[in-house]
Amino acid sequence: MKEVFIPKSDALEVEQFRDIDYYAVENYGLPIELMMENAGLQLANLVAQSVENKSRSILIGIGNGNNGGGGLVAARRLSAWGYRVYLDLFKEINKDLPKLQLERALKFGAIMEKIEDPDVWVDAYLGFSQRLPLPAELTERISEANNGQCLKISLDLPTGYTNEDSEHYFQADKVLTLAAPKKILYGLSRADIYVADLGIPGAIYEKFNAKILPFQDGNIIKLKKEIYMPDGVTSVIELHRGMLSKGESSVTILEFIKEYADRLKAGFEAKNKAVAIDILNYYKPLMGRTQEEIFKESLEDSDFLIIAANVHGYDSSDKIPTELIDIKFEKAVDLLLAGEYYDLKVMLEESPHLVHQHSQFGHKGQLIHYCASNAVEIYRQVVPVNLSDIIALLISYGADPTVKIPVYGGQFDFMALYESSAHPHEAPFDIDLSNL
């Protein structure tokens, strides 16, 4: 699935999207039913991509508006594909179009029954048309969903959510919004946000100065979380791009670090500033030098291997292990630093031991230490916008922030590393560690 980063400043206000929606209907002959069909199909696609096993139970919460109509289209599609779909109608469906969609969904095999403990709970109750306070029967459903272990998916806007201060709302793991990102959704730091193509022409986006997403690459686009990357770290990542996602293949630690050293050598010959950053941070013989002075030095292959070893916490190249890299642990680190809360949660649910596991690299950091953006490999010293939530998730699975690791010639725990790290304090968003 295509992933893009869209800053909040480029997202739409809800009112702007309503204007776009209305303009498309009035001026381009796009009927509500067609856009409802598009929305429901994309919702069904997201659910199907999230739940490969067709024996899993899917409960779709339905309201009496267009959002509920989209949920019913999804129910019809999923039923046609062989999924077990149940419908939860919290109120009577009496509007013409949702009523027609309900009849279709039932004919295709959806069952009108609010089952207990579904594997997936889809929130298509209200969408952007919701008004607070919610009726009691709906707040009860939200509590039940939030207290369950099911995958939770909302269509357009989680029911009960109006802003970052909202307390009682459907805590979706995934949100499928339509046509364009909405500013209000950026407060959902734990949820994965997806944008679905609704079939609105590019001319309308241009008229309303809205950003057009690359739907030609896929009808559903996932929004990347905001990640703070200091300039120096960004340069190092660019130098080593293509080899840093160690969770993709089986290589030994020695093989990986040798490749890192080869990249350093090539970058040094090209006078790439990223190499100077690695050297200034990790290679004692040249610490304190200027970039110009560094690039005048004559370095051997053995020097680059030592630098690469130092970057990964080894004080000499002969201490680099030859064992295979632990793919699962490295994948967990990658998810953590990308702010992928839900995927990390799924991984920890399957392998809770990961929170206690130490990195194979010389610094021996645990997942919690990677949250400090300090003392670990420099290309991983980044700060996801939802770092507070990530830390809380790790602790909920048993991570111990008081565990110390052997770095900087001593023993330091998470808070000591976090407080002495510049990156989290320079990030352009707030990080709340009050729960620690």
Does the annotation place 67 within a ligand binding site? yes
- According to DSSP, the β-strands at 120-124 and 151-155 are parallel
352 is in an annotated binding site: no
Contacts of 338 (CB under 8 A, 6+ apart): 224, 225, 227, 384
Per-residue pLDDT at 141: 97
C-alpha separations of 164 from 6, 38, 104, 194 in Å: 19, 29, 37, 19
Is 123 annotated as a binding-site member?
yes
Instruction: Specify the pairing of strand 405-407 against strand 410-412.
Output: antiparallel
281 is in an annotated binding site: no
Read off the pLDDT of residues 235-293 as tens digits, 9 standing for 90 and up: 999 888 877 665 556 789 999 999 999 999 999 999 999 999 999 999 999 999 999 99
Secondary structure (3-state) at 87: strand
Position 249 scores a pLDDT of 62
The domain defined by 327-426 carries CATH number 1.10.10:
no
pLDDT value at position 171?
96
CA–CA distance, 154 with 170 (Å, rounded to integer): 8
Low-confidence ranges of the chain (pLDDT < 70): 244-249
Both ends of the chain: CA-CA distance in Å? 36
Q: Does 159 count as an annotated binding residue?
A: yes
Kind of pairing between the strands at 120-124 and 111-112:
unpaired
Residue 133 marked in a binding site: yes
Instruction: Report the CATH fold assignment for 3-224.
Output: Rossmann fold (3.40.50)
Strand 192-196 versus strand 220-223 pairing type: antiparallel
Identify whether the C-beta of residue 213 lies closer than 8 Å to the C-beta of residue 4: yes
Pairing of strands 405-407, 57-62: unpaired
DSSP character at residue 269:
H
Is 365 annotated among the ligand-binding residues?
Answer: no
Q: Which residues pair with 62 in a beta bridge?
A: 89, 124
What b/e readout covers 192-208, taking b as 16+ CB neighbours within 10 angstroms?
Answer: bbbbbbbbbeeebbeee
Is residue 160 part of an annotated ligand binding site? no
Tell me the two tokens of residue 252: 């030994």
Is 170 within 8 Å of 159 (Cβ atoms)? Answer: yes
Q: Is 70 flagged in the annotation as binding? A: yes
194: three-class secondary structure by DSSP: strand
pLDDT attached to residue 156: 95
Tokens of 205: 């986006």
Length, in residues, of the chain:
436
How many beta carbons lie within 10 A of that of residue 211, not counting itself?
A: 13
Give the C-alpha separation, 93 to 72, whole Å. Answer: 11
Q: Is 409 annotated as a binding residue?
A: no
Helices 253-269 and 273-282, interaxial angle, to 10°? 120
As a whole number of angstroms, the distance between CA 424 and CA 251 comes to 31
Annotated binding residue 290: no
The reply, when asked if residue 147 is annotated as ligand binding, is no
Report domain extents, the chain.
Answer: 3-224, 251-319, 327-426
pLDDT tens per residue across span 80-125: 999 999 999 999 999 999 999 999 999 999 999 999 999 999 999 9
Q: Which of 121, 123, 122 is nearest to 150 (CA)?
A: 121
- Among residues 298, 302, 391, 299, the alpha carbon closest in space to that of 344 is found at 391
pTM above 0.95, yes or no: no
Q: Report which of 184, 182, 181, 157 is spatially closest to residue 171, judged by C-alpha positions.
A: 157
Residue 129 annotated in ligand binding: yes
Q: Closest by alpha carbon to 64, among 110, 98, 113? A: 98
Are 389 and 189 in contact by the 8 Å Cβ rule? The answer is yes
User: Cα separation of 279 and 299, whole Å?
Assistant: 11
The DSSP string of 149-187 is: -SEEEEESS-TT--STT--SS---SEEEEESS-BGGGGG
pLDDT for the residue 38: 97
Task: List residues bridging with 120 in a β-sheet.
Answer: 58, 151
Phi, psi angles (nearest 5°) of residue 418: -65, -45
Predicted confidence at residue 85, as pLDDT, reads 98
Residues ≥6 apart with Cβ < 8 Å to 318: none
The one-letter amino acid code at 25 reads V
